[in-house]
Amino acid sequence: MTIEIASHVGPAKLDIAYERLGDPAAAPVLLIMGLNAQLIAWPDGLCDELIQRGVQLVRFDNRDAGQSSHMTGVPNMAAALAGDASSAPYTLSDMAADTVGLLDALGLASVHLVGASMGGFIAQTIAIEHPARVRSLTSIMSSTGDRAVGQPHPDVMRLFAAGAVTDRAQVVQRSVDVFGVIGSPGFPADLDGVAERAGRAFDRSFDPFGILRQGVAVIASGDRTARLRSLTVPTLVIHGSADKMVDTSGGRATAAAIPGAELVVIEGMGHDLPRALWPQLATKIVELVQRAG
């Protein structure tokens, strides 16, 4: 379903697509997904593991993804990478404000945040800029915005340089190919699951320029390290030892920056959420929820 929220940049109002799962009286956990990823990128099985451990979930599409509102225009990624991010239509602060707007619309005064990849960037930004709305913070396969850490492997950069794909079959195959590079080498690969979610995502919404707008927003938002040092929220940082999309140094830097943060580095985990790790990930997240209260 979708809900309308006020926007701090771009159109005055945005539609945000979301799902609310589990017991509405249980502790609320908000799941924030990464670059060009939709709410269904949070595997249903992982969501079930979390709900079985006694929390309720909200998962949603960020602006420019899925069935939430999409912006217009094509920012200059090359210029942004060279230091000129003036073409960014919005920033991570705006995406954080979107998320807080969703909480307002759902009547949630505060939540436990779980962000993956760019979703971790957004979750960190919410904790910095809207601390009263955050009970705990879990940052998964993410980084601080410092471009000296957490950078992609050259194999990933070659993927980014590949030509654009636009039809469903090509998009699904590209997703499977990407997974072959960034997936978890230490765990069984669920290629059927990757293809199925990629097809569902295409059917929900396909916007070839949304990823550019989100990507330039990340670059325009800069380094959060100094501001992360001011956080007092209970924090868990999870990262894979084999992450080629966001190098493990990004997770280590995040944990080092946030006072008291717990760092969990999982051997063999890449830039995905492999089925074999769902029980472990759910247990660690809910343990933090319970400690934070």
Overall domain count for the chain: 1
| Predicted confidence pLDDT, tens digits, the chain (293 residues) | 899 988 878 888 999 999 999 999 999 999 999 999 999 999 999 999 999 999 999 999 999 999 999 999 999 999 998 999 999 999 999 999 999 999 999 999 999 999 999 999 999 999 999 999 999 999 999 999 999 999 999 988 887 777 788 899 999 999 999 999 999 999 999 999 999 999 999 999 999 999 999 999 999 999 999 999 999 999 999 999 999 999 999 999 999 999 999 999 999 999 999 999 999 999 999 999 999 98
Q: Helices H, strands E: what count in the chain?
A: 11, 8
Q: What CA–CA distances, in Å, run from 38 to 60, 65, 225?
A: 7, 6, 27
pTM score, two decimals? 0.96
Asked whether 216 and 77 are in contact (CB, 8 A), the reply is yes
Instruction: Name the DSSP class of 275.
Output: G
Instruction: Residue 144: give the domain boundaries.
Output: 2-292
Count Cβ atoms within 10 A of the Cβ of residue 179 and give its class: 0-12 exposed, 13-18 middle, 19 or more buried. buried
Instruction: Round to whole Å and give the CA distance between 185 and 188.
Output: 8
CATH number at residue 22: 3.40.50.1820
